[in-house]
Amino acid sequence: MKILVINAGSSSLKYQLVDMDNESVMASGICERIGIDGLFTYKPQLEGKTVVKDLAVSMPTHSEAIQTVLAALVDKDNGVIASMDEIDACGHRVLHGGMEFTESCIVNDDVIAAIKKCIPLGPLHNPANLTGIQACQAVMPKTPQVAVFDTAFHMTMPAEAYIYAIPYEYYEKDQVRRYGFHGTSHRYISARAIDLLGNPEHSKVICCHLGNGASLSAVVDGKCVDTSMGLGPLAGFPMGTRSGDIDATIMEYLMGIYGYDIKEMMNILNKKSGVLGVSGVSSDFRDIENAAKEGNERAQLALKKYFYEVSKYIGAYAAAMGGVDAIVFTAGLGENSPATREAICANLGFMGVEICSERNNIRGGEHLISSDNSKVKAFVIATNEELMIARDTKELVTK
């Protein structure tokens, strides 16, 4: 069985063709600048096939992008499949499933309508995700489409974790509550961690998805009980450009001084804050680490603030779960920055967390990085959201 995994953004579309017989990637790539001009990247994984990088292809809409992907996959010389009929199903990442979706599902008219209903909750992503689904439906009308939601894994949170302490009517009437994101990644790495722990009957895992966007989750016996992002992805600890949790009074105060409207204010919190805002250097941790090494004090402060807030969340989740068996690091920073993992874990010595510097000196893969004396196991586990989407898709279409 072959599954095409699609992650559609407003002007981009990432794709991966997965052979589910051995869960191997046959080809992957990205369409960028959709609606502007169009750039196409295609990375076939079969021997003798050629990588295509940043090829200019006209893509006025996502429909042309999907057609470009399919044409490359079946290309007589450079393709990886003989015909489109070999694609058994498509799996789509959808950002916001609101309260409607607690798990992945096969797309039908009701599902499309429900995803549309969630657009106010995910105004930047859900329209693009829908466009990706509808573009696939248009060019592959007989192929089943599956939607996999970023929010679904977190729907097991208890009410005390998801409710905000504002008038209850906003929850009842307007679905204002904590939803959380990166759910597919948290689901993947928590399941792998439980596996690496030897599949105990009971487990308490803290997942740290530390990328440009970042979130933590607390997972008891494989079920999410709390997560750091909220109604939207701005909440939690500081990220590349997002502020994380702040006192809402700051917004009123700055809007009063500078006359910002709410859009400008939100843009500052989403795009100009986080480690970029504090350091003034970059949103990329590699740049900030380099600047900090050269003595840039704001870069040093940005890193200190980041480590402080992430370790505070880990402490809070250990308290929420009444203990912790494993802490897992994943995504760009979590997988690739030994210094970040070491600095965060250094704040957690009181919980019995002890990192082994030698084991920690790795990037990606799946590794134990805690010492043999550590009371809590720490792992690096490379996330694989695409594989999770492909697995869900296979399960649903073969049911």
Residues marked active site are found at 150
Minimum CB–partner distance for residue 214 and ligand AMP (Å)? 8
Nearer to ligand AMP, 284 or 366 (CB): 284
Residue numbers at the binding site for ligand AMP (CB under 6 A): 211-212, 240, 284-286, 331-333, 336-337
Nearer to ligand AMP, 155 or 344 (CB): 344
Q: Which residue is nearest to ligand AMP (CB)?
A: 332
Minimum CB–partner distance for residue 276 and ligand AMP (Å)? 10
Neighbour tally for 395: CB within 10 Å: 12
Nearer to ligand AMP, 251 or 339 (CB): 339
Nearer to ligand AMP, 230 or 233 (CB): 233
Nearer to ligand AMP, 116 or 272 (CB): 272
Minimum CB–partner distance for residue 336 and ligand AMP (Å)? 4
Nearer to ligand AMP, 105 or 303 (CB): 303
- The closest alpha carbon to 303, from 313, 288, 286, belongs to 288
Minimum CB–partner distance for residue 23 and ligand AMP (Å)? 21
Minimum CB–partner distance for residue 299 and ligand AMP (Å)? 12
Minimum CB–partner distance for residue 292 and ligand AMP (Å)? 11
